[in-house]
Each structure stands twice: as C-alpha cells, then as structure tokens.
Structure 1
C-alpha cells in the first residue's frame, strides 16, 4: 500500500483484503476469543494483569497469521485504532454471518 488511507471507509476493505486467507481469519478469531475471555476474567476476578494477557492472547495469533500465513505486515503497525476496531468488527460479522458479504464487497 503506497498511499496513506485517510478514512475508515477506505480502511475497512483494505483491512479485509489483508485478511484474505481463511486460515488468517481463523487465527484472528481464536485470538479475539481468547482476548475476550481474558477481559471477562479480569473483570470477574478483579485481576487487572489479565488485561495484559488479553493483549498477548489477541495480538499473538493475529501477528502469527500475518507473518506466516498472509505474509504481510499487520495493519496494527500503521493504523492501530482502526485495526483494533476492525478486528472486533470482523469477528462479530463472522459470528453474525455477515462477513461473506463484506468479503465479497472487498473483492475477496
């Protein structure tokens, strides 16, 4: 990507194209699920250090997916907030069955 993305509407299709392989998305779903469990446990158990574990659990599988499956650079490095939001958006679209339509619109 040569040009800087200036709006989230431009970023979302780019984000999806950077996650074009099913195995990459599966690793993201796994990491997001682990991160959510860690956050819930942190609140339920009143154990703040689990928030740090949530970061490792969420980003670890996602970055493995980028470096070894997609062989690209995680969007988090350039667009951290949009990327975090999009991780959850992709996850919940997947759960809700809406992701295939979004992937199609993005050309995947």
Structure 2
C-alpha cells in the first residue's frame, strides 16, 4: 500500500478496519479512552491516564492481528492521515454515512 492521495489512503484504512468490532475498539482506544484518561486524571488520581490510555491503545492495536488478520503498519506510516481517517470513520459511523463508504470499498474490490 503506497497511497498517493488521501482518498486512496482512506480506502486502504477503511479496508483495514472493515469489521464493526475493530472499529468499536478503535473508537474506544483511540478517541474515548484519552478523553476519559485525562478527565480521570483531573478528577480522581493524577496517574490514571498512564494506565487507561495505554491499555485501550494496546487493545486497539491488537485488533489488527486478532480480528482483522492484518497489520497496522501501513496506517502507522502516515500518523496524521491515520488520525484524520479515524475521526472521519467515527463521524461517518455516528451519522450513518459509513455504509456508503463500505459499499464504495466493496465496489473498488478491496
């Protein structure tokens, strides 16, 4: 995978996160856990983020070999695009627009 445009990257990212279980764990680990970790650090104990964020990040990381049977390496090579793709995927999932993108992915033969 050597995408030249963000759209090419997006389709590859989506293919690597095609299962709902993978996406759900990624949303928890990469979006909601940091928010909860920081909030807990302010409200309960200062070191909470040191536990919460790594645990949920690792859970998201391990979804690739365990659930998707792929590697996260292609996504890690472009961290900014990866972060944008995660937020786009979450927004589309929350608004019901991800189905159209998944159909587009299937039409592209990925």
Aligned residues: 103
Q: TM-score, normalised by structure 1?
A: 0.75
Match in the other structure for 2:62: 64
Q: TM-score, normalised by structure 2?
A: 0.73
Moved over 4 A (4+): 46-49, 52-55
Structure showing greater Rg: 2
Q: Which blocks of at least 5 consecutive residues in structure 2 are unaligned? A: none
Deviation track 1:4-43 (CA, whole Å, cap 9, x = no partner) reads 111111111111011112221121122122223334x17x
Note the aligned Cα RMSD (angstroms).
Answer: 2.6
Match in the other structure for 1:98: 97
Match of 2:9 among 2, 8, 11: 11
- In 2, Cα distance between the equivalents of 1:92 and 1:36? 16
Q: Which blocks of at least 5 consecutive residues in structure 1 are unaligned? A: none
